[in-house]
Amino acid sequence: MIEYLVFAAAFGLLLLGLHRKVIARVQMRPGPPVWQEILHALKFSFKSTWVPKTASSLLYVGVVLIGIGIWSAALFVVLAGESILILFAIYMLHKIVEHGFGLSSGSPYGKFGGVRSVISAASEIPLFVTIAAIYFFTDSLLLRDIIAYQAIHGPLLLIAPPAAIAMYIVILSKLPYGPFSIVESKELVSGYKTEHFGVWRAGISVIDGLKTFVLLFAFVAIFIGAVPFSLALVIMTVVLVSLSFVCAVTPMLSPFDSVTVQGIVTLLMVGYAGVLWWVMP
Amino acid sequence: MKKTTITYGLAASALVIVVAWGLLAASLIPLWAAETAIVIAFPVLVLFLALWWRAPGGEEDIPFIGY
């Protein structure tokens, strides 16, 4: 099972490297090599490392451990076809972890990143929850039931496209250099990650790799259904490249605008769920 | 953190993962129990492995906290 975790982290980092490459090519830059994020993780793990004087040591180190732990758990949840409610819960825990990263170091940059994480949680988590509208079709939130439903009726991507758009925006919100990436924007240096360096930053890279893999894999499982693993990896790559194009041509929104746009999409999704509730037998 | 402490932590986390994997392979524990053990031990393994091979040196400092 540890091989799944190592593969997911490495493939997730590879996807993030591809993300940077696609953005660079769209913007007429050569960009870094595709495996740059894997090299970053290794490079940071070899650097000399300590805990800043102003940091709360327990929280500063603990959030890295918790971050890797929750996304490892999320991978097992998705692979086992368990409830997507657990995925929502892990997503909420991740927002708390981001906040913890920001507050633990005592740096104002990290703190602002943590505060923005809380602000974005107000819109991201309801947006994620709206994909539960698929319950009206499948009568279950278990991933294995959702996959079984699609084997009979076809992909939910075609049956409930608004729910797919909601999750697409959730994944877009979690990608770096995107319109909603307010928690690690450049005016805050690296946002909530600013004061986590060396080994701690290598841990964050593992978190980012696992998170990217889990969210894209969950997207494929929830909206495409059962496909061979190799084909799932190809679809995940295609979805990521489409997200990279969006990131490349869209400026980063201000925190207020980011929450407003996500909030409007959430309201539209709630309306969609209401219509489904009204018309579904 | 002392090098010996890091070595013990690394060995303990690796041991937990190997034992959980072995017990699952022998069908002595259910899948969820092995997954729980790995979810707890994997983050420790990642951090302690990096702490074990990191470059020496460095001491705690004060980050930029504003003007």
Question: From CA A6, how far away is CA A214, in angstroms rounded?
Answer: 13
How many CB pairs (< 8 A) connect A and B? 97
For residue B18, list chain A residues with Cβ-Cβ distance below 8 A: none
Q: Nearest chain B Cα to A207, which residue?
A: B43
pLDDT-based confidence at B35, cuts 50/70/90?
A: very high
* Chain-chain contact of A45 with B40 (C-beta, under 8 angstroms): no
Q: Nearest chain B Cα to A5, which residue?
A: B42
- Give the one of B39, B51, B66 whose C-beta lies nearest to A49's C-beta: B51
Select from A198, A185, A183, A248 the least CA-distant residue to A19: A248
pLDDT for A277 beyond 80: yes
* Chain-chain contact of A2 with B42 (C-beta, under 8 angstroms): yes
Q: Tell me, what's the ipTM?
A: 0.87
pLDDT-based confidence at B67, cuts 50/70/90?
A: low
Which pair of tokens denotes residue A101? 């990263």
pLDDT of residue B65: 64
- The domain ranges of chain A are 2-279
pLDDT of residue A38: 93
Which residues between 35 and 64 in chain B have a beta carbon less than 8 angstroms from any beta carbon of chain A? 35, 38-40, 42-44, 46-47, 49-51, 53-64
SS3 for A194? coil
Mean pLDDT of chain A: 88
Question: From CA A171, how far away is CA A169, in angstroms rounded?
Answer: 5
In chain A, pLDDT over 70 holds for what percent of residues? 99
Is the model more confident about B6 or about A189?
B6
pLDDT for A82 beyond 80: yes
pLDDT for B36 beyond 80: yes
Q: Nearest chain A Cα to B22, which residue?
A: A1
Give residues with Cβ within 8 angstroms of A225, minimum separation 6: A146, A147, A150, A151, A155, A156
CB atoms within 10 A of CB A55: 23
Q: Nearest chain A Cα to B67, which residue?
A: A108
Classify residue A48 as left (phi > 0), alpha (psi -120 to 50) or beta: beta
CB A55 within 8 A of CB A104: yes
CB B42 within 8 A of CB A72: yes
pLDDT of residue A117: 83
- The domain ranges of chain B are 3-53
Residue B24 C-alpha, separation from nearest chain A C-alpha, in angstroms? 10
Tell whether B67 is within 8 A of chain A (Cβ): no
- Give the one of A1, A109, A206 whose C-beta lies nearest to B35's C-beta: A1
pLDDT of residue A134: 87
DSSP letters, A227-267, are --HHHHHHHHHHHHHHHHHHHHHSPPPPHHHHHHHHHHHHH
pLDDT of residue B66: 61
Which residues between 1 and 20 in chain B have a beta carbon less than 8 angstroms from any beta carbon of chain A? 17
CB A41 within 8 A of CB A206: yes
Residue B50 C-alpha, separation from nearest chain A C-alpha, in angstroms? 5
For residue A105, list chain B residues with Cβ-Cβ distance below 8 A: 63
Question: From CA A225, how far away is CA A204, in angstroms rounded?
Answer: 30
- Give the one of B34, B50, B66 whose C-beta lies nearest to A1's C-beta: B34
Select from A215, A90, A15, A72 the least CA-distant residue to B47: A72
Of the listed ranges A69-83, A187-201, A233-247, the one predicted with least confidence? A187-201
Tally: H helices and E strands in chain B = 2, 0
pLDDT of residue A129: 76
CB A183 within 8 A of CB A117: yes
pLDDT of residue A77: 94
Which pair of tokens denotes residue A22? 């696609």
pLDDT-based confidence at A132, cuts 50/70/90?
A: confident
Select from B49, B10, B41, B22 the least CA-distant residue to A42: B49
Give residues with Cβ within 8 angstroms of A105, minimum separation 6: A52, A54, A55, A60, A194, A195, A196, B63
Q: Which of B6, B54, B59 to mutate to test the interface with A (most CBs of A within 10 A)?
A: B54
pLDDT for B44 beyond 80: yes
SS3 for A121? helix
pLDDT per position as a tens digit, A16-59: 999 999 999 999 999 899 999 999 999 998 888 878 878 888 88
Of the listed ranges A36-45, A160-169, A190-199, A242-251, the one predicted with least confidence? A190-199
Residue A264 C-alpha, separation from nearest chain B C-alpha, in angstroms? 35
